[in-house]
Structure 1
Amino acid sequence: MSIAVVFDSAGTLLHTYRIAKDVDSGELFPDIETTMLTFADPNRVLCVIHAHSHGIMAAPQDQLFSSFLKEHQLGFGISCTRRVVEAEEIGRILMNDTHVRVGDMQECMRIIWSKIKEEAIVALNSGVIVHTGKHRIEFTVTAGGTPFPGAKETIRELHRLGVATFIASGDREAKLERMADYLGIPRDQVFGVATPTVKERIVKDLKEEYDTVLMVGDSINDLLAMRAADIAVLTEQQCSHKPDELIAAVNHRIHDVREVIGIINPLI
């Protein structure tokens, strides 16, 4: 039997720290799941910014973030949304926003970096949550993570068993590829800036190639992919509070990524 396992990254393979800043109030929301924050309003769209962290930190803090994007001709990717949106619409909002300063993003990045800077292997991603109804950026967000203990060993054991491994995540692809290099997952099996519908399509496409496809994730943005998979695995290694509809869709709930091996073994 041929088997493939699709992993989300943040909260699944990576222990991840997150923070969001409400641009209007200035309030910071540490340890918030940005996907849940996005899904709380159908007009919200989570975007990752294709910028190097050093470039953002080096920019003047009072500079408009939209001006920074235009100055450096930076792109973006739609990471999570509850509805279909046009990239052109989101691009217009990003490039014309007059509320968010580079300093709003820098504040989030400093807080997350302080938590992960001592780790040997880290991934740092920054982005924004756009509100299409308000036609502006509503939150700046940053997430930073490091592999869970046993993640690398789990991938190695899956490969030893002949199981193909993939990553499908809303994170920026360049960061994911470097993390995949460390974990031992081939770069051509890494899919970055994957929205919920893209994750679902990846799982469905793999089902055409493999006898059994597992989806391992931790959040509501994995729901469609979990429903499409032959076996859905919900990891609660980082956070045990999950929406009821997510829990109802899964076949297994685990508290350590290494438990995936125990799910795979009876299938072989």
Structure 2
Amino acid sequence: MSKGIMSQKELSRRTVLRRGAILSTFLGLGALTMPGQAAAMNKAELIEQMASEAGLSAPEIEHALDAFTHATTKALENGDSAVLVGFGSFSISKRSARTGRNPSTGRNPSARNGPADDSPVTFAVCPEFAAALDLNPGKGDEASAKCRDADVVIDAEYIASETEHDPRGGLSEEDAKRALEAFINTTTKALKKGDRISVGVKKDEDEGFGTFSISKRSARTGRNPQTGKEIQIAAKKVVKFKAGAELSKAVN
């Protein structure tokens, strides 16, 4: 009889443990797939997706991606703007130090100037990229000008030239074109799903070149800079670029 009681207790214990493990697994998976939670694609995952899109090898894709980030970083270090054709332009943010307000309390933080997510680099989408993302780009003429008049223009020809004397070997203009198109297409698909794209480091998205994401700007009241009159600014989605630690250090 005592054996029967022990067996029942052991069975109950096993059942509780098994159910607990199943519940923990379920909750863990639920946390990973929770609706509205943005996923992050790091560089290794980005390269894998781009290679599949372009039909190129991972080393070739990484070579092209490194050439793009290196060229952009070098331009910004020199105080120039750079544009990846059909994607967007990068330039140095010239923001003076200022005292901000905590949006929750309205207080002036004594040890912090400006918003915490300020990036030293400004990113403006090119019209083609904005259209692919179904964005309202806002001042379209201004965005077009930044993409058209940048100091350094990065395209397939530029990437092929940049990699020509690289120890890893050069990329043909055709392969460079396929790689850049794959980058734009892969980034477009990820951002449309609400994901983030990290470029520059294979594991840590806060390092390296930077991270792209979609940000929602609420409707607000602004002022016409020419007349000073109040105007209503419609809500819209924008592409947000946050410079990584390496890029921030290079341009500061």
TM over 0.5, yes or no? no
Structure with bigger helix share is 2
TM-score (norm 1): 0.26
Q: Considering only CA atoms, is the larger Rg found in Structure 1 or Structure 2?
A: 2
Structure with bigger strand share is 1
TM-score (norm 2): 0.27
